[in-house]
Amino acid sequence: MNGVCQQMRLIVKTLEDLSVAAARLAPVLRERGGVVAMYGSMGAGKTTLVAALVRAMGSADDVSSPTFAIVNEYLVPAASGVLAVGLSDVGLSDVGATSDSGGGGAVDAVLDSGAGSVAAESIGQDVGGDENPAERGGESVFHFDFYRIEDPREAFDLGYEEYFYGGALCLVEWPEKVAELLPPDALRLSIEVQPDGSRLITLE
């Protein structure tokens, strides 16, 4: 796992704009790997963001919340096989702006898929053809949803340590349910719904 990630704060105006946020977040998460604890209220957009992240990484797998299975596995192509998209091409604007959202703190970008919608559609398109990602030396991304567990010990039945400490990227919804099992170096990604319906995304 690579070094500590500096804080990143993004504002997305609508849930549809989460695909643009994913273009900004995916390279950071992909490079670092490990556990990403995703916090947010019901309906904040956690699963939607996971789907956008997996797609931004080049996977063609269908993403759904593993509410009952607890964990889903998605295959993504090797990083070198993912189409690189410049930040200016995916609707990023007002970098370093100060916004009233999220209590008036400075944000890294206000994201709007409007101008960048065409480019956003191409995010994560693989340039290596139609073959299975695993055949190109692909990697696994694991998606957890601990919403329904009643006791953290249920995670032991999954063999959680193999996932959390195996080096693969693990996107974890409802990490509050297994707080004591999270690695100390897990990243924290929060999605906060603002009064105007926008989302403030903080990665730290």
Domain contains 39 = yes
Q: State the pLDDT at residue 118.
A: 30
Domain contains 2 = no
Q: How far apart are CA 147 and CA 160, in angstroms?
A: 15
3-state SS assignment for residue 109: strand
Q: Domain holding 60: CATH number?
A: 3.40.50.300
Domain contains 89 = yes
Domain encompassing residue 163: 8-203
**Domains of the chain: total:** 1
Q: State the pLDDT at residue 137.
A: 56
Tens-digit pLDDT profile for the chain (204 aa)?
445 456 899 999 998 899 999 999 999 999 999 999 999 999 999 999 999 999 999 998 888 887 778 999 999 997 654 433 333 333 334 433 444 444 455 667 777 655 443 333 333 333 334 444 445 458 999 999 999 999 998 999 889 999 999 999 999 999 999 999 999 999 999 999 999 999 999 999
Domain contains 3 = no
Question: Residue 96: which region, alpha, beta or left (left: phi > 0; alpha: psi -120 to 50)?
Answer: left
Domain contains 1 = no
